[in-house]
């Protein structure tokens, strides 16, 4: 792993480092082909200078070497000065990198997260993170932050060759840092920095991952890029606070696993579908699984109750402005199934029973029968009578169906989207089929004509998201534990799985797909009675 933080921490102190000394260099990436006479490299330099009060300070720069005529170096980025005699000399560097990442966040349309108000992070949370974690743990977090900032520099301010070198030699080999499990400080940072800054940071990170996956699928000159492992499809973390268990997950659309065996790679699509898929690739799923829990103590047992408080899912567009040509801004994936589960750790023997709080729904059907009797007389003596009978069926259908189920000692909450015209489960449909009238979820020729987000009976919010509150899932579920567990703090599993589907909405295209992502984490369950 590229350990930039350790190199920074090992820089000489002010007494050992004079202004006359040359800048110290950390080589981030380098390459040299047989046709090239010189080596091309991306370097991080540290230079000791004197501050305004003649104090010893260090300035960091990111430079390109060998990418320009006559091998002239080019400076991409310059840091603020860091006082060497300070108790935390490199805190300004960490804050600057975080602030610049947030400032470049591609926020969703109509976002209430103004970047201008978040460019000045408070130093206290970052200071506390640096104090409460070891240098080794913080090193993984700093690598993630540094790589993300370097990506934005190489993607927008550097020659294309430097961007390719960054992807191949920096981002590719260090993707293991893009995980809350590999970088536990990231989880702490997201919890302490606040949800607004968290969204901006995760969207900036998601944009980088989206570009990575696009280049992986295109494969032009980057065939050696390593694929992401399954646990790196998205980032997630779980917390427990104020009687709530919360699991948050983020996943760029292309990072999610396709569930259909259809090959929809860029290289075999028609030109218009390639542009469409390129636009869709800049989308990210943002999920929140929020469950409410309570612990009650009785004479012979302990009762743990949990219920769905909120499940919220949004697919946001990681873009900066609307396109000027063909408008694909309203095309997006939609959530077609969501699954949450909660329960004790695997192999737990202290649970005596699990009770669910919702019966399996038996759908009712209304049947209306009409009988019509018609009679008439003609010139004959015998009357002629004609009869006609008919039957009309009325069915009450909802787009979403909610179920409770159980797997071992884990309670499962399931929400499944159905096409209310065909009755099919949307996540399992291999080809969208419409009713010819623009109805249902699919609509004419598989198109919804905007009904998913604009119709009066739409199953989604106006922005294309979906929110499930506790009233949809019935009563709470219940576990019973032995009294001997009182006073302990247990690990409780909290997981979620989300399927997203794309069917063309406002454009004519044969492109469609369903993708899935899964997250799982642990939260604390304190079994300590209140005094």
Specify the pTM: 0.85
Per-residue burial over 56-75, b = 16 or more CB atoms within 10 Å of its CB, e = otherwise: bbbbbbbbbbbbeeeeeeee
Q: Same domain for 132 and 211?
A: yes
Question: Is the pLDDT reported for residue 16 higher than 70?
Answer: yes
Q: Same domain for 88 and 215?
A: yes
Question: Is the pLDDT reported for residue 244 higher than 80?
Answer: yes
Task: Assess if residue 374 is contained within a domain.
Answer: no
Average pLDDT over residues 187-197: 90
Q: Same domain for 273 and 189?
A: no
Any residues with CB less than 8 A from the CB of 393 and at least 6 apart, and which? 365, 366, 367, 368
Q: Which of 189, 204, 226 marks a domain boundary?
A: 226
Sign of CA dihedral 225, 226, 230, 232: negative
* Beta-bridge partners for 400: 417
Q: Same domain for 17 and 66?
A: yes
Q: How far apart are CA 141 and CA 447, in angstroms?
A: 43
Tell me the CA distances in angstroms from 231 to 56, 81, 118, 130, 227, one per residue in order.
Answer: 44, 38, 30, 26, 12
Task: Assess if residue 367 is contained within a domain.
Answer: no
414 phi and psi, to 5 degrees?
-125, 135
Range of the domain at 157: 1-226
pLDDT digits (tens, 9 = 90+) for 227-237: 544 445 678 99
Question: Is the pLDDT reported for residue 113 higher than 60?
Answer: no
Q: Same domain for 167 and 52?
A: yes
Q: Which of 178, 209, 226 marks a domain boundary?
A: 226
Instruction: With H, G, I as helix, E, B as strand and everything else as coil, classify residue 515.
Output: strand
Task: Assess if residue 380 is contained within a domain.
Answer: no
Higher pLDDT, 50 or 43: 43
469 phi and psi, to 5 degrees?
-100, 175
Q: Same domain for 185 and 310?
A: no
Question: Is the pLDDT reported for residue 326 higher than 70?
Answer: no
Task: Assess if residue 370 is contained within a domain.
Answer: no
Q: Which of 209, 226, 243 marks a domain boundary?
A: 226
Question: Is the pLDDT reported for residue 286 higher than 90?
Answer: yes
Any residues with CB less than 8 A from the CB of 377 and at least 6 apart, and which? 383, 384
Closest CA to 256 of 221, 279, 286: 286
Domains identified in the chain, total number: 2
Task: Assess if residue 385 is contained within a domain.
Answer: no
365-376 and 283-297 beta bridge pairing:
unpaired
Q: Same domain for 402 and 471?
A: yes
Average pLDDT over residues 317-321: 75
Question: Is the pLDDT reported for residue 488 higher than 60?
Answer: yes
Residue-level pLDDT at 447: 43
Q: Same domain for 215 and 243?
A: no
Task: Assess if residue 371 is contained within a domain.
Answer: no
Angle 288-129-149 from CA coordinates, rounded to 5°: 75
Q: Same domain for 339 and 434?
A: yes
Task: Assess if residue 356 is contained within a domain.
Answer: no
Q: How far apart are CA 499 and CA 338, in angstroms?
A: 6
Token pair 């009978």 is at which residue? 389
Q: How far apart are CA 245 and CA 112, in angstroms?
A: 25
Q: Same domain for 220 and 250?
A: no
Name the least confident of 75-89, 162-176, 265-279. 265-279
pLDDT digits (tens, 9 = 90+) for 153-166: 988 888 888 888 88
Any residues with CB less than 8 A from the CB of 409 and at least 6 apart, and which? 343, 344, 348, 351, 354, 479
Q: Same domain for 272 and 124?
A: no
Q: Same domain for 207 and 157?
A: yes
Answer for the pair 363, 402: CB distance below 8 angstroms, yes or no: no
For residue 506 the two structure tokens come to 């406002």
């Amino acid at each position: 792993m590229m350990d930039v933080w350790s190199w920074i921490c090992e820089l000489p102190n002010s007494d050992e480092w004079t202004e006359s000394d040359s800048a110290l260099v950390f080589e981030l990436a380098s390459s040299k082909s047989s046709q090239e006479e010189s080596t091309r490299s991306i370097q991080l330099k540290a230079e000791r200078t004197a501050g305004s009060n003649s104090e010893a300070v260090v300035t960091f720069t990111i430079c390109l070497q060998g990418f320009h005529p006559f091998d002239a170096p080019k400076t991409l980025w310059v840091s603020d000065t860091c006082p060497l005699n300070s108790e935390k000399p490199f805190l300004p560097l960490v804050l600057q990198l975080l602030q610049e990442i947030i400032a470049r966040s591609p926020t969703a349309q109509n976002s209430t997260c103004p970047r201008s108000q978040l460019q000045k992070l408070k130093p206290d949370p970052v200071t506390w993170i640096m104090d409460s974690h070891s240098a080794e743990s913080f090193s993984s977090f700093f690598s993630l932050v540094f790589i993300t900032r370097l990506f934005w520099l190489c993607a927008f301010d550097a020659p294309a060759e430097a961007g390719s070198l960054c992807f191949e030699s920096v981002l590719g080999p260090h993707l293991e840092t893009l995980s809350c499990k590999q970088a536990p400080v990231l989880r702490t940072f997201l919890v302490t920095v606040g949800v607004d800054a968290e969204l901006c940071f995760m969207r900036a990170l998601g944009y980088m991952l989206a570009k990575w996956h696009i280049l992986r699928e295109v494969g032009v000159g980057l065939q050696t890029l390593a694929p992401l492992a399954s646990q790196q499809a998205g980032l997630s973390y779980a917390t427990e606070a104020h009687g709530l268990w919360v699991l948050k997950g983020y996943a760029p659309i292309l990072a999610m696993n396709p569930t259909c065996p259809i090959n929809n790679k860029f290289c075999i699509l028609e030109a218009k579908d390639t542009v469409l898929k390129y636009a869709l690739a800049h989308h990210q799923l943002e999920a929140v699984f929020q469950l409410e829990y309570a612990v009650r103590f009785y004479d012979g047992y302990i009762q743990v109750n949990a219920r769905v408080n909120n499940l919220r899912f949004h697919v946001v567009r990681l873009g900066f402005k609307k396109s000027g040509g063909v408008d694909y801004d309203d095309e997006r994936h939609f959530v077609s199934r969501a699954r949450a589960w909660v329960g004790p750790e695997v192999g737990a023997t202290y649970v005596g029973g699990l009770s669910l709080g919702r019966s399996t729904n038996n759908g009712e059907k209304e049947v209306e029968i009409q009988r019509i009797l018609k009679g008439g007389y003609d010139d004959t003596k015998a009357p002629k009578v004609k009869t006609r009978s008919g039957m009309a069926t009325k069915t009450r259908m909802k787009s979403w169906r909610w179920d409770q189920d159980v797997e071992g000692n884990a309670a499962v909450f399931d929400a499944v989207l159905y096409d209310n015209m065909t009755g099919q489960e949307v996540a399992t449909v291999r080809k969208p089929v419409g009713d010819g009238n623009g109805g249902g979820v699919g609509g004419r020729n598989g198109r919804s004509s905007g009904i998913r987000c604009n119709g009066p009976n739409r199953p989604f919010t106006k922005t294309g998201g979906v929110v499930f509150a506790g009233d949809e899932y019935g009563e709470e579920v219940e576990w019973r534990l032995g009294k001997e567990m009182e006073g302990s703090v247990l690990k409780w599993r909290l997981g979620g799985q989300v399927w997203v589907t794309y069917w063309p909405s406002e454009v004519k295209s044969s492109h469609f797909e369903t993708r899935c992502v899964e997250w799982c984490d642990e939260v604390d369950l304190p079994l300590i009675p209140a005094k």
